[in-house]
């Protein structure tokens, strides 16, 4: 501890010494060609450099668009997903257009009006017309985007008119997910962190006295029938986590001490998604990288197959990156068959 402090103070002192020495060095220089005042040549040079930098920005933008567009998420696999994507693409298009235009203007003006011997800047205190224009246009655009966003949000979050959703609880903890189906009655049994009893297979702290808990089904992989709404209720055991379903365009924080909710309807089965061209291309690309790793004998190099996933999207600790669960979207029959194979909470408790 003391030695760390000592090392730190020595480093700081050395830093100050170097800084003072450069200052002395600067002061000792003769004020000839090395003048700090920019001349016409310097100003012109800086004007050109502004243009060069603009070309660099556009170049790197085009490069990224060409090279990295393929890593974007595939087609949305939920009923609300296309609304969400449209909202994002409209916002992105407006931002992209305005950014491209203003960036060019900024650099062009910096070049056009670069410093010149004898040129003086025009000064005026204010201009009502200009201020009106640059206030009104953003206000209208932003109001439009925000209203459209709110409308989409309400559509996604509060559209529960039809349905008979399947209720599934997602339980987050450092560093894994556990899911609990509400069972035959579609009502989750009460649960509390104080009731957790690892030795008796009660990992979610389910209240054994609650009759609704008996038919609950605890699993480590989610299966959902395509076209059926799923109502997720999230809990967290320890810290903030975030349930992120990238392919279904859904995300909700999991907060210790409260239940958060999100519902969506999956529209494409896992099997159908695997047939899509963009997914097959992605699988090919990833497996090419994996084959290279396998040739070198590196880990995580077995061939990969596409699956929907639930990820944690909050930096919740050192193994956060590994916090994921497989989601299988299948036909109603396949789902029923899978569900029939699962054991209920009541049965596993009785077996203990
Ligand atoms: Cu997490």
Closest CA relative to residue 283, chosen from 298, 293, 294, 273: 273
For residue 163, the CA-to-ligand 1 centroid distance in Å is 30
* Tens digit of each residue's pLDDT (9 = 90 or more) over 107-139: 999 888 888 888 888 888 888 999 999 999 999
Phi, psi of 206 (to 5 degrees): -80, 140
- In angstroms, what is the span from residue 318 Cα to ligand 1's centroid? 9
pLDDT digits (tens, 9 = 90+) for 312-332: 999 999 999 999 999 999 999
Split at pLDDT 50, 70, 90, the class of 268 is very high
Predicted TM-score (pTM) of this structure = 0.77
Asked whether the predicted pLDDT for residue 76 surpasses 90, the reply is yes
Quote the ligand 1 centre to 21 CA distance (angstroms): 50
161 pLDDT higher than 60: no
Q: What is the mean pLDDT of residues 131-158?
A: 90
CA 323 to ligand 1 center in whole angstroms: 6
Using the mean position of ligand 1's atoms as its centre, give its distance from the Cα of residue 105 in Å. 44
What is the mean predicted confidence (pLDDT) over 54-62? 93
**Inter-axis angle of helices 81-112 and 40-68, nearest 10:** 160
Alpha carbon distance 325, 243 (integer Å): 10
pLDDT band at 140 (very low <50, low <70, confident <90, very high): very high
> Could you tell me the two tokens for 74?
């595939």
- From 66, 65, 70, select the one nearest 96 (Cα to Cα): 65
Average pLDDT, the chain: 88
Q: Is the pLDDT confidence value at 170 over 90?
A: yes
29 pLDDT tier (thresholds 50, 70, 90): low
Q: Report helix, strand or coil for 130.
A: helix
Question: 209 C-alpha vs ligand 1 centroid, how far in Å?
Answer: 30
Q: Report the percent of the chain where pLDDT is more than 70.
A: 96
pLDDT digits (tens, 9 = 90+) for 295-312: 998 887 889 999 999 999
- CA of 174 relative to ligand 1 center, distance in Å: 6
- pLDDT at residue 32, rounded to an integer: 55
How far is ligand 1, taken at its centre, from the CA of residue 138, in Å? 37
Question: For residues 328 and 118, what is the distance between their CA atoms, to the nearest angstrom?
Answer: 73
Residue 312 alpha carbon to ligand 1 centre in Å: 5
Least confident span in 147-151, 213-217, 244-248, 305-309: 213-217
Q: What are phi and psi of 252, to 5 degrees?
A: -150, 135
CA gap 41, 148 in Å, rounded: 51
- DSSP type of residue 257: T
Query: How much distance in Å is there from the Cα of 150 to the middle of ligand 1?
Result: 28
Q: What is the DSSP string of 92-129?
A: HHHHHHHHHHHHHHHHHHHHHT---TT------S--HH
Give the distance (Å) from ligand 1 centre to CA of residue 175.
6
pLDDT (tens digit, 9 = 90+) per residue, 222-236? 999 999 999 999 999
pLDDT at res. 137: 92
308-343: b (≥16 Cβ within 10 Å) or e: bebbbbbebeeebeebebebbbbeeebbeeebeeee
Name 76's Cβ contacts closer than 8 Å, sequence gap at least 6.
82, 84, 85, 247, 248, 249
For residue 23, how far is its CA from the centre of ligand 1 (angstroms)?
50
Measured distance CA(94)–CA(92) in Å, rounded = 6
Which stretch of DSSP H or E encloses residue 138?
Answer: helix 128-157
Residue 160 has pLDDT above 70, yes or no: no
Under 8 Å between Cβ of 290 and 304: yes
Query: From the CA of 90, how far away is ligand 1's center (Å)?
Result: 31
State in Å: Cα 85 to ligand 1 middle.
25
pLDDT digits (tens, 9 = 90+) for 39-52: 888 888 888 999 89
Please determine, for residue 78, whether its predicted confidence score (pLDDT) is greater than 90.
Answer: yes
The label of the residue with tokens 């994996």 reads: 290
Q: With cut-offs at 50, 70 and 90, classify the pLDDT of residue 101.
A: very high
Give me ligand 1 centre to Cα 173, in Å: 7
Give 205's pLDDT tier (boundaries 50, 70, 90). confident
Is residue 214 over pLDDT 90?
no
């Amino acid at each position: 501890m003391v030695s760390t402090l000592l090392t730190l103070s020595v480093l700081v002192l050395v830093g100050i010494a170097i800084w003072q020495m450069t200052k002395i060095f600067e002061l000792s220089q003769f004020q000839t060609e090395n003048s700090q005042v920019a001349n016409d040549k310097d100003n012109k040079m800086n004007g050109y450099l502004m243009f060069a930098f603009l070309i660099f920005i556009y170049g790197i933008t085009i490069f990224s668009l060409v090279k990295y567009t393929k890593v974007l998420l595939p087609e949305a696999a939920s009923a609300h997903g296309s609304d969400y994507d449209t909202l994002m693409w409209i916002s992105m298009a407006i931002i992209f257009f305005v950014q491209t235009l203003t960036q060019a203007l900024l650099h062009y003006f910096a070049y056009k009006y670069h410093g010149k011997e004898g040129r003086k800047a025009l000064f005026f205190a204010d201009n009502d017309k200009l201020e009106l224009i640059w206030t009104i246009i953003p206000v209208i655009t932003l109001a439009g985007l925000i209203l459209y966003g709110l409308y989409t949000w309400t559509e996604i979050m509060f559209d529960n008119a039809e349905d008979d959703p399947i209720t599934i609880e997602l339980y987050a903890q450092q560093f894994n997910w556990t899911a609990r189906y509400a069972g035959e009655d579609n009502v989750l049994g009460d649960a509390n962190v104080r009731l957790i009893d690892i030795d008796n297979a009660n990992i979610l702290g389910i209240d054994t006295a609650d009759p609704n808990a008996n038919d609950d089904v605890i699993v480590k992989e989610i299966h959902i029938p395509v076209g059926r709404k799923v109502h997720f209720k999230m809990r967290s055991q320890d810290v903030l986590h975030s349930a992120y379903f990238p392919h279904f365009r859904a995300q909700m924080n999991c907060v210790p001490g409260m239940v958060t909710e999100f519902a969506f309807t999956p529209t494409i089965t896992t099997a159908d998604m695997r047939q899509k061209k963009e997914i097959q291309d992605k699988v090919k690309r990833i497996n090419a990288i994996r084959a290279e790793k396998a040739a070198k004998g590196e880990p995580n190099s077995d061939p990969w197959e596409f699956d929907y996933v639930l990820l944690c999207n909050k930096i919740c600790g050192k193994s956060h990156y590994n916090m994921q669960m497989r989601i299988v979207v299948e036909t109603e029959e396949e789902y029923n068959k899978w569900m029939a194979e699962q054991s209920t909470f009541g049965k596993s408790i009785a077996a203990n």
